[in-house]
Amino acid sequence: AEFEGFPETVIKCKAAVAWEPNKPLVIEEIEVAPPQANEVRIKIVATGVCHTDLYHLFEGMHKDGFPAVLGHEGAGIVESVGPGVIEFQPGDKVIPLFIYQCRECRFCKSPKTNQCEKGWAADRYDVMASAESRFTCKGKKILQFMGTSTFSEYTVVNQMAVAKIDPTAPLDKVCLLGCGVCTGYGAAVNTAKVEPGSTCAVFGLGAVGLAAVMGCKAAGAKKIIAVDINPEKFEKAKVFGATDFLNPKDHSKPISQVLSKMTNGGVDFSLECVGNVGVMRSALESCVKGWGVSVLVGWTDLYDVATRPIQLIAGRTWKGSLFGGFKSKDGVPQMVKAYLDKKVKLDEFVTHNMTLAQVNDAIELMKHGECIRTVLSVSPQ
Ligand code: NAD
Ligand code: ZN
């Protein structure tokens, strides 16, 4: 028998299924199982399309990561909860999180990291999907990309991977806090710890890089150099606080030398928001010796990253950042509040609005550098 709050019904709904790498997604009817103990079933209202979705589909192509429902930058409304869930109720506005915050493991207890040891990310970084899934389609198990799968009208996630947010928040904007904007902003503020009066360089001006620019500005940087091979991104970068613009294609010298010359020896902070190991090296080598800090934000697991040891011996620091260093369950509601208080921008990232049925068009736009963020409306609210 079904009793209030613990449904036993399977939901049939639409989702965009990635059956195999390098192929368009297919809108299918999938079955979404009821939430089990400590799980929450969420009606996804809106989702952004992030480059990490494209990475999995076209670049990483991990064989154990398909078939899957992609999407990890969404927002929605709790539909039902499983046994043991007291924090959430049907009707709550939430953002699913691709890293857990269990609050109990040694990583959660340390202020030094956001890398909870629970959840898919604990040991399946390379596969990028949870081993378990609540989705089936045509009799096959469909994986949940990054444990979330927001390209679906409904999804099920563990309560440790859900943030309850302000009920007045517009879901078609705050969905961007589920990944890209927290990632870039936090990489500057939490990981690089950009200082007032400093000089920064941000490589790659997608949503992640633009959010990093916004973070540098919020931290009080005085010079923020925006670097991209697509000069059409510069106008947007200005909106978020960039002061200078560099297209590596306009220079015959390596971009690290150009930056070093522009800044009397290199920048204090650099952030790589592309996902290219060559750019990662340039970003590090663009930093000033002695104290320069470079942060890897772009996602890739395909090649080694390299530099000459002297670059680090000379006093540079090389770091990486996952989800901007934000402890997910704590950080996301705070960033939603910062948006509602007009302390961080979100609307300016949205260049296109589409529906879930148009997800392949949204992917094409990003592939060709023609959008910052496309927000897909998934279910009616
Ligand atoms: P995007 O595709 O919208 O933006 C990438 C930008 O990089 C584009 O503007 C492109 O023109 C620019 N670019 C490409 N090659 C370049 C080069 N050689 N030099 C300078 N700029 C170059 O992507 P996005 O959604 O903003 O994501 C950016 C990266 O961040 C991706 O690698 C994504 O997977 C990664 N990411 C990481 C995390 C994390 O937690 N670390 C989270 C989200 C996304
Ligand atoms: Zn992402």
DSSP line for 315-359 = T-EEEE-SGGG--HHHHHHHHHHHHHTTSS--GGGEEEEEEGGGH
Ligand 2 centre distance from Cα of residue 15 (Å): 18
- Would you list the DSSP string of 18-29? E-STTS--EEEE
Tokens of residue 306, six digits: 């390299």
User: Residue 381: what pLDDT?
Assistant: 80
**Residue minimizing CA distance to atom 20 of ligand 1:** 228
**pLDDT tens for residues 98-157?**
999 999 999 999 999 999 999 887 778 888 998 889 999 999 999 999 999 999 999 999
Q: Is any ligand 1 atom within 6 A of the Cβ of residue 298?
A: yes
The closest-lying atom of ligand 1 relative to the alpha carbon of residue 324 is: 40
Q: Which residue, chain included where needed, has tokens 């002695």? A: 290
Q: Which ligand is nearest to the CA of 71?
A: 2
User: Residue 4: what pLDDT?
Assistant: 58
* Euclidean distance between CA atoms 184 and 211, whole angstroms: 5
Mutation test residue for ligand 1: of 228, 246, 279, 348, the one with most atoms within 8 Å of CB = 228
Selection from 291, 55, 113 nearest residue 195 by Cα: 291
* Euclidean distance between CA atoms 335 and 333, whole angstroms: 5
Q: Is any ligand 1 atom within 6 A of the Cβ of residue 209?
A: yes
**Residue minimizing CA distance to atom 11 of ligand 1:** 230
Q: Is any ligand 1 atom within 6 A of the Cβ of residue 55?
A: yes
Q: Is any ligand 1 atom within 6 A of the Cβ of residue 213?
A: no
Mutation test residue for ligand 1: of 190, 202, 273, the one with most atoms within 8 Å of CB = 273
User: Residue 123: what pLDDT?
Assistant: 76
Contacts of 264 (CB under 8 A, 6+ apart): none
Ligand 1 centre distance from Cα of residue 280 (Å): 11
> Inter-axis angle of helices 255-262 and 277-285, to 10 degrees?
30
pLDDT in single tens digits along all 381 residues of the chain: 445 556 679 999 999 999 999 999 999 999 999 999 999 999 999 999 999 999 999 999 999 999 999 999 999 999 999 999 999 999 999 999 999 999 999 999 999 999 999 988 777 888 899 888 999 999 999 999 999 999 999 999 999 999 999 999 999 999 999 999 999 999 999 999 999 999 999 999 999 999 999 999 999 999 999 999 999 999 999 999 999 999 999 999 999 999 999 999 999 999 999 999 999 999 999 999 999 999 999 999 999 999 999 999 999 999 999 999 999 999 999 999 999 999 999 999 999 999 999 999 999 999 999 999 999 999 988
User: Residue 130: what pLDDT?
Assistant: 86
Q: Is any ligand 1 atom within 6 A of the Cβ of residue 346?
A: no
Q: Which residue, chain included where needed, has tokens 């606080």? A: 241
* Euclidean distance between CA atoms 350 and 69, whole angstroms: 22
- Would you list the DSSP string of 181-239? HHHHHHIIIIII---TT-EEEEE--SHHHHHHHHHHHHTT-SEEEEE-S-GGGHHHHHH
Beta bridge partners of 331: none
Q: Is any ligand 1 atom within 6 A of the Cβ of residue 281?
A: no
Name the residue type at position 263. Answer: T
Q: Are 178 and 75 contacting, i.e. CB atoms less than 8 angstroms apart? A: yes
Q: Is any ligand 1 atom within 6 A of the Cβ of residue 323?
A: yes
The closest-lying atom of ligand 1 relative to the alpha carbon of residue 204 is: 7
Q: Is any ligand 1 atom within 6 A of the Cβ of residue 299?
A: yes
